[in-house]
Structure 1
Amino acid sequence: MKIGDHFSDNCPKVATIGFFDGVHRGHRFLIEQVCAMAAERRCASAVVTFPVHPRKVMQPEYCPQLLTTCREKEELLAATGVDYCLMLDFTSELACCSAHDFMALLKKRYQIQALVIGYDHRFGHNRSEGFDDYVRYGAELGMEVLPASAYYCEDGGEVSSSCIRRLLSVGDVSEAARGLGYDYFLQGTVVSGYRVGHTLGFPTANLRVDEADKLVPADGVYAVRVTVDGCQYGGMLSIGYRPTLDNGPDRSIEVYIFDFQADIYNHPLRLSFVRRIRDELKFTSVDELVAQLHKDEAVARQLLFA
C-alpha cells in the first residue's frame, strides 16, 4: 500500500473517505467494496483518511480516545489489500471546504474517478449535504459517486467505532473483538514500577502506552496475550490504581507474563485483550490479594490455553 498526501503516478482511483478508527469489520467491508469496484473499472483502490482526528484539529483540548494510533491504522489498512492510503492533513482550511470543493480536490489532485460513499457518511464544511448532493456534484466534476452497502453483525447489529469504544470503556473486550474482527490491543514501552509484584510472587511489566489518545479499557483484571521481542506469551493484566497496596495515585497498566523471566525494561511490548476476568478490588490484606491473584492466574490460563 502506498501512503502519503501526494503521488506522482497519476493513477486513476476508486476511493472512499473516512477516519477509519480501529479499521473494524464495517470499515473492511466498505474497503472490500471499493477494491471490487476498482477492479471492475481497472483502477487502483484507495482510502482517504487523516492522521489526526478532525475534531481535535478544531478543538485542541479534545481527547478522542482512539482505537488505533495513526501507525496502527496504517498497518491495518495495508492488510486490507487497498492500493493507496491518501493521508491528508486536516487543516482549518480543509475544514472550511464545501463537499463540492473537496470532491473537486480529490478529482484534480488525486485522480479519483469514482467515490464510494458509506451509507451514513457525510463530509464537507457543515455536513448538511447528503448522497444525492454528492451524486450531483460528481456529475458536474466527472466523478462517479457510488453507494456502499452497510455492514451488519451476525446478530443484525451495526458495527461502529463509537460502539466499540463504549464496550471497551466498560471492559467488554470480548464483545469489542467481535466488532473489530481482532483482539483489541495496546502498544508501548516497559517502564519501571513500584516492584511490589516481585515481593508477592507476581513480577509485572509496567506498560507506558505510546499514544496519550489511545483508549485504555476499563479498570480490572484481564487475560491477555503479550508480544515482546517477537515472541508471544500468555499473561494476566491489571489496569487501575492498586487500592490494596495504596502505593501511588497514578493509573497503572501492569502485566504478569506467564512462564517468563527476562529483563525487558525499555523494550516495546504489545498487549492483546482476550477476556475481562474481574473488577479491580480492594482487599483487606495482602495475603487475601495474593490468594485472589492465584485464582486469577488459573482463570487466565484456562481462557488462553484450554
Structure 2
Amino acid sequence: MKTIYLNDNTAPLEPSVATIGFFDGVHRGHQFLISHVRQEAAHSGLQSLVVTFDRHPRQVLRKDYQPELLSTLDSKLLLLSKTGVDATALLHFDEAMASLSARDFMALILRDRLNVRKLIIGYDNRFGHNRSEGFDDYVRYGRELGIEVIHNQAFTLNGVNVSSSVVRAFVKEGEIELANQCLGYPYTIAGKVVDGHKEGRRIGFPTANLDTSDFGQLIPGGGVYAVKVRLERSLAYKPAMMNIGTRPTFGGDERTLETYIFNFNEDIYGRMLMVSFVHRIREERKFDNVTQLVEQLKEDEKMVGQQFEKDLEHE
C-alpha cells in the first residue's frame, strides 16, 4: 500500500475509486466498505484509494476534546495496509479543511488533488462543514463535478450495524470479546512502561505499569484480562494478564494499568509495550487482606493460562 501525504508537493495521482472517513479501528465495517472499493476499482480499471485524516476532526473543532481512539495513527495505517487497498491518502485536518463545504471538499480535494472518479460512501458517513449535507447532496455534487457517488450498505453482526461507536461502547463496558468480534482482531493499546507502586513485586506478581496518555486511546473497563503483549522492535507476543482499576485492596483511588507478563523478568522501564486484549476474566474487587488477593491472583493466572491453551487448540 502506498501512503500519500497530501501537501503542495504531492505529484498528480492516478484516477481512483475512493472512500473517505476517519476509519478509527479499521473494524469489520470499514473492511467491508474497503473490499467494495477494491472490487469497484478492479472492475473499473482504476486505483483503489482510502482517504483519511491525521487526527480526529473533533480535535480541531473542539479545543477541549479528549479523543478516546481505537487505534493510533500508525496502527490505523498498518491496519489499512492489511485490507489490500492500493493507496491511502493522509490529509492534515486543520481549521481550513474543517471550513470546507462538502461540495468544495469534493471539488478541491477529491477531484482536483486526488483524481477521484468514483466515491463510495459508508452507510452512515457524512463530511463537509458541520456535516450538514447528506448522501443525496453528495450525488448531486458528484454529477456536477464528474464523480460518481455510490452508497455502501452497513456491515451487520448479530443484527448490529458495526461502527466505531459500537466498538467503543463494548470496550468501555469491558465486553472485549464482543469488541474483538466487531474489529476482526484483538483490541490493542500502546503505552510506555513506567514506575509504579511495586506492590505486585512484593507479593510475587511483578507488573509492568503502563502510561498510555500520549496515545489518546480508549482504555477498556476495569477488570482482569487475559492479554498478549509485545515489546517495541519485537514481533514476539507473550502471554500476560492485565488489571485495570484503582487497586482498592491497597487503598488506591487513581486508575492504573498493571500487566503481569508470564515467565518474564527483564528490565523494560521506559520501553513501549503493545497490549492486545483477548478475554475478560473478572471484575476488579477489593479483598480483605493481601493474602486473599494473592490467592485470587494465582487463580487468575491459572485461568488465563487455561484460556490461552483453549485458544491454541482452536487455531
TM-score for both structures, normalised by structure 2: 0.93
Deviation sequence 1:271-304 (CA, Å, 0-9, x none)? 1101111111111101011011111111111111
1:266 aligns with 2:267: no
> Secondary structure of the equivalent of 2:287?
coil
Deviation sequence 1:246-292 (CA, Å, 0-9, x none)? 3x543211111112222222222111101111111111101011011
Shift of 1:64: 2.3
1:221-260 equivalences under 5 Å are 221-228=224-231, 229-246=234-251, 249-260=253-264
The one of 12, 24, 29 aligned to 1:26: 29
Q: Distance in 2 between matches of 1:227 and 1:22?
A: 19
Q: Is the 8 A contact 1:48 1:88 kept in 2?
A: yes
User: Which residue of 2 is the match for residue 161 of structure 1?
Assistant: 164
State how many pairs are aligned.
304
1:206 aligns with 2:213: no
Q: Is the 8 A contact 2:246 2:254 kept in 1?
A: yes
> Secondary structure of the equivalent of 1:75?
helix
Q: Distance in 1 between matches of 2:240 and 2:72?
A: 23
Q: Distance in 2 between matches of 1:10 and 1:180?
A: 31
User: Which residue of 1 is the match for residue 177 of structure 2?
Assistant: 174
Q: Distance in 2 between matches of 1:289 and 1:10?
A: 60
Deviation sequence 1:160-198 (CA, Å, 0-9, x none)? 111111111111111100000001011122222122111
Shift of 1:78: 1.0
User: Which residue of 1 is the match for residue 57 of structure 2?
Assistant: 54
TM-score for both structures, normalised by structure 1: 0.95
CA RMSD of aligned residues (A): 1.4
User: Which residue of 1 is the match for residue 313 of structure 2?
Assistant: none
1:188 aligns with 2:191: yes
Q: Is the 8 A contact 1:187 1:210 kept in 2?
A: no
User: Which residue of 1 is the match for residue 140 of structure 2?
Assistant: 136
User: Which residue of 1 is the match for residue 129 of structure 2?
Assistant: 125
> Secondary structure of the equivalent of 2:143?
helix
Structure 1 runs of 4+ off > 6 angstroms? none
The one of 289, 298, 308 aligned to 1:294: 298
Q: Distance in 2 between matches of 1:305 and 1:210?
A: 33
Q: Distance in 2 between matches of 1:230 and 1:5?
A: 31
Aligned partner of 2:20: which letter? I
Q: Is the 8 A contact 2:67 2:216 kept in 1?
A: yes
Shift of 1:86: 1.4
User: Which residue of 2 is the match for residue 5 of structure 1?
Assistant: 6
**Sequence identity (%):** 49
Aligned partner of 2:282: which letter? R
Q: Is the 8 A contact 2:228 2:239 kept in 1?
A: yes
Q: Which moved more, 1:284-293 or 1:223-232?
A: 223-232
